[in-house]
């Protein structure tokens, strides 16, 4: 019985965590698309996707990178899928790097996203 409750709590936490991730990415997408015409557009989506990839599994990081890249493509008006492929590879490599080599610390995440 305790195992079922524990699994249910883990699933609930995962759903809440992913909902927060997508709300954060969507808020950044809205910020990028509602800015007046400026020469340089802030790319907060890239740094957020890389930071999330540090703490997730490789498959989840790749999916998140693909979705973040598609949001970035829509915000910038570039070829659809170009940034998706690039961010998928970046998030996957970051996740594998932290999964096998580096430890999961905020200092490591900060140095990677600077």
Q: For residue range 54-98, list pLDDT tens digits in order.
A: 888 999 999 999 999 999 998 888 888 888 999 999 999 999 988
- Stretch 5-12: mean pLDDT, rounded? 89
In the prediction, which pLDDT does 3 show?
79
Closest alpha carbon to 67 in 23, 100, 114, 6: 23
What does the pLDDT read at residue 21? 93
Residue 72 and residue 46 in contact, taking contact as beta carbons nearer than 8 Å? yes
pLDDT in tens, 17-49: 999 999 999 999 998 888 776 677 778 899 999
d(C-alpha 101, C-alpha 27), whole Å: 32
pLDDT score recorded for residue 90? 94
Q: Where are the domains of the chain?
A: 25-113
Asked if 51 contacts 104 with a C-beta cutoff of 8 angstroms, the reply is no
Using the Cα atoms of residue 48, residue 52, residue 58 and residue 60 in order, give the sign of their dihedral: negative
- Taking the whole predicted model, whether its pTM rises above 0.75 is answered as yes
What pLDDT does 38 receive? 66
């Amino acid at each position: 019985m305790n195992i079922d409750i524990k699994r249910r709590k883990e699933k609930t936490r995962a759903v809440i965590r992913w909902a927060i991730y997508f709300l954060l990415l969507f808020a950044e997408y809205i910020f990028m698309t509602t800015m007046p015409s400026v020469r340089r557009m802030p790319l907060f989506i890239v740094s957020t996707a890389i930071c999330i990839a540090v703490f997730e599994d490789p498959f989840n990081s790749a999916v998140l990178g693909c979705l973040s890249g598609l949001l970035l493509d829509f915000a910038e008006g570039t070829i659809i899928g170009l940034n998706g492929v690039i961010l998928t590879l970046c998030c996957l490599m970051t996740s594998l790097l932290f999964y096998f080599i580096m430890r999961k610390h905020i200092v490591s995440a900060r140095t990677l996203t600077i």
